[in-house]
Amino acid sequence: MNGWQTLFYKEVLRFWKVAFQTIAGPVLTAMLYLLIFGHALETHVKVYGVVSYTAFLVPGLAMMSLLQNAFANSSSSLIMSKVMGNLVFLLLTPLHYMHWFVAYVGASVVRGLVVGLGVFVVAAPFTDMQFAQPLWIFAFALMGAALMGALGLIAGLWAEKFDQLAAFQNFVVMPMTFLSGVFYSIHSLPPFWQGVSHFNPFFYMIDGFRFGFFGISDVSPWLSFGVVGATLLAVSVLSLQLLRSGYKLRT
């Protein structure tokens, strides 16, 4: 293995060694959401008029778990290495900043996809899944995980303490995922909040992802693709810039 492959392997091994916490935990949480909201709302709500609430909820929960875990992987790995001080072993290596990016984001993508897949596997018995356009499913899963992995990289570089990272997670990532339409179609919202939702990039990730399953969505999948792609590009450029300059890494 060469340098970036080793770092990628190490990052995957890191979360795999504590898979109970990094994979099983998030899958269980998603299941609890599914059981509780599904039970409470199944008989009351039909989304887009045709899709049962549980069927609607599963892709949203899978995507939410995927995004949160992709973010958690790069951000927590970086902050731990910084706080423990062992990031020095990486800083002493000849690895190029591009290698850091590929390895950290790559491992985030792997964890995001594994958790997302885990949610499907466990949720499958509860509903009849459809896979109208699988290519869209895959495209949005991949782009969403990469975007959150890169965002986690930025947060991990920026944060100096665990509580700063927790603040980023609780006040930015959580509200944006919960308000993105995981639990509802934004068409059920009052017009003002519908408008606000359109400024949330998470909404496009979930909406585009869901289109892959049902062939129906709140906005065109091409619009979602464009917004998610542009956001991914912007976040990647910013995190590469921070890595290149040695932001909070090399004083």
Partner 1 sequence: MSAISFQSITKAYQRPSAERTSPASAASFLALDGVSFDIEEGEFFGLLGPNGAGKTTLISILAGLALPTGGSVRVLGHDVQTDYSQARRLLGVVPQELVFDPFFNVRELLRIQSGYFGVRNNDAWIDELLENLGLTDKANANMRQLSGGMKRRVLVAQALVHKPPVIVLDEPTAGVDVELRQTLWQFIAKLNKQGHTVLLTTHYLEEAEALCGRIGMLNSGRLVALDRTSDLLKAASSNVLRFKLDGELPLALAARARVTGRIVQLPTHDALDVERYLAAVREAGLVAQDVEIRKADLEDVFLEVMSRSRGDNAAAAAAARNQEHVA
Task: Give the other-Cβ count within 10 Å of 80's Cβ.
Answer: 15
Q: Could you give the residue ranges of the DSSP H alpha helices within the chain?
A: 3-17, 19, 25-41, 53-84, 88-91, 97-123, 134-158, 162-168, 174-178, 191-197, 201-214, 221-245
What's the DSSP call for residue 159?
-
Residue 146 beta carbon to partner 1: minimum distance, rounded to whole angstroms: 23
Residue 18 beta carbon to partner 1: minimum distance, rounded to whole angstroms: 8
- The answer to whether the Cα torsion of 138, 152, 180, 233 is positive or negative is negative
Question: Which of 95, 106, 134 lies closest to 15 in space, CA to CA?
Answer: 106
Residue 103 beta carbon to partner 1: minimum distance, rounded to whole angstroms: 10
Beta carbon nearer to partner 1, 79 or 205:
79
Beta carbon nearer to partner 1, 1 or 135:
1
Residue 7 beta carbon to partner 1: minimum distance, rounded to whole angstroms: 7
Beta carbon nearer to partner 1, 95 or 122:
95
Residue 165 beta carbon to partner 1: minimum distance, rounded to whole angstroms: 18
Residues 146 and 112: their CA atoms lie apart, in Å, by: 9
Binding site for partner 1 (CB under 8 A): 1-3, 5-7, 9-10, 13-14, 17-18, 81, 84-86, 88-96, 246, 250-251
Beta carbon nearer to partner 1, 62 or 79:
79
Beta carbon nearer to partner 1, 6 or 194:
6
